[in-house]
Amino acid sequence: MRVLLVGAGGVGTAITKIAARREFFVRMVVADWDFGRAEAAVAAVGDPRFTAARVDASDPSAVAALLAEHGCDVLLNATDPRFVMPLFEAALAARAHYLDMAMSLSRPHPERPYEECGLRLGDEQFARGEAWRASGRLALVGMGVEPGLSDVFAAYAAQELFDEIEEIGVRDGANLTVDGYDFAPSFSIWTTIEECLNPPVVYEAGRGWFTTPPFSEPEVFDFPDGIGPVECVNVEHEEVLLIPRWVRAGRVTFKYGLGDAFINTLKVLHQTGLDRTAPVEVPGPDGRVKVSPRDVVAACLPDPATLGDRMHGKTCAGTWVKGVKDGEPREVYLYHVVDNQWSMREYGSQAVVWQTAINPVVALELIATGAWKGSGVLGPEALPPVPFLDLLTAYGSPWGQRDQ
């Protein structure tokens, strides 16, 4: 397998460190708009299978040309969601497989944003499903940790643990702290603003997908491995759009443990317009210039990938499932915990980006060996969950199951 990895930020760099320990590929081209960043990611692994390149992720023709130049079989997208569609289309044009960790962006309903869906996460990608099927290539969307591993857990629960499922709830929580900062997100603030301030989506059988106000339906969820109780709230996330396509459940939700301080900061960003992506004019040294307020916020905050040495604690991603097995009620929580001290010691990557990065690498290996195969636009739920979970454990990162 020959892989084009686009994006050499925190997650992309962690991908190279994880992949360097595996033998399923012969070449990984690490490409970024910032060639120096791509070079640094390649230099960090010291493996001749890796090479650096520069590419504009917003230019499908340039990306397709890079795929062809290096004879790559698959494009792995490690950029933020703004670049999903150009990279997705570039892979299709070049007849390469495609993987991402976040799906095409949503747009709220113009009149009823907190009741009805507008353009949903992934709609633009699923609309291209027939073209991908005709190409004979696989576009595996939402294959990070959440979405990604959480969706694999949902499929595993449906196939192995339940006869009927009443509710599936993805629950994400952590006890991470960052020394020296009052506000320092552990993941891309651009993506965090997007998912936290958009109307959350909920799925119910018979009703379909609908929306609620941001941060709605708070609940306290007790996370394992010493993290403990964390208040979680509804957040827009791909799992709610993916899981019901392949797994029958009465209700599907995603709730994230943000904390009051984080929520209040996001609300202030929204109230002041600093969450907006459309450029505004501001004075510059040579006259007025246009800048995106959200990009300014991101530039003012520390790069999450650089915070590992200051971070302490654990992060947990998991899927809570409630239903019936053999005529008896059952509840389980399937989960994956990463300790920041461990991920920094073993890989030099902070816990949140490392936990995101390992899952697409596992998926790539399953595709390379033929354990996962298909064509069209598919979510992780559409593929066998057991080989994935077994290989994740073989990577030295086991998952857990807790009966509730």
In three-state form (DSSP H/G/I as H, E/B as E, the rest C), the secondary structure along 182-215 is CCCCCCCHHHHHHHHHCCCEEEECCCEEEECCCC
Cα-only R_g, the chain: 20
The whole-number pLDDT of residue 305 equals 76
Residues 236/195, Cβ–Cβ less than 8 Å: yes
**Residue 307: closest CA among 275, 262, 353, 339:** 353
Q: With contact defined as beta carbons under 8 Å apart, do 340 and 186 qualify? A: no
What pLDDT sits at residue 66? 98
239-to-134, 206, 236, 274 alpha-carbon distances in Å: 26, 18, 9, 27
Nearest alpha-carbon partner for 12 in 100, 74, 72, 95: 100
pLDDT along the chain (404 residues), means of 10: 97 98 98 97 97 98 98 97 97 98 96 96 98 98 98 98 98 93 78 87 97 95 96 96 98 92 87 91 88 90 84 96 98 98 96 97 98 98 98 97 95
Q: What is the 3-state secondary structure (H, E, C) of 339-368?
A: EHHHHHHHHCCCHHHHHHHHHHHHHHHHHH
Tokens of 298: 């991101």
- Do residues 55 and 32 lie in contact, with contact meaning Cβ atoms separated by under 8 Å? yes
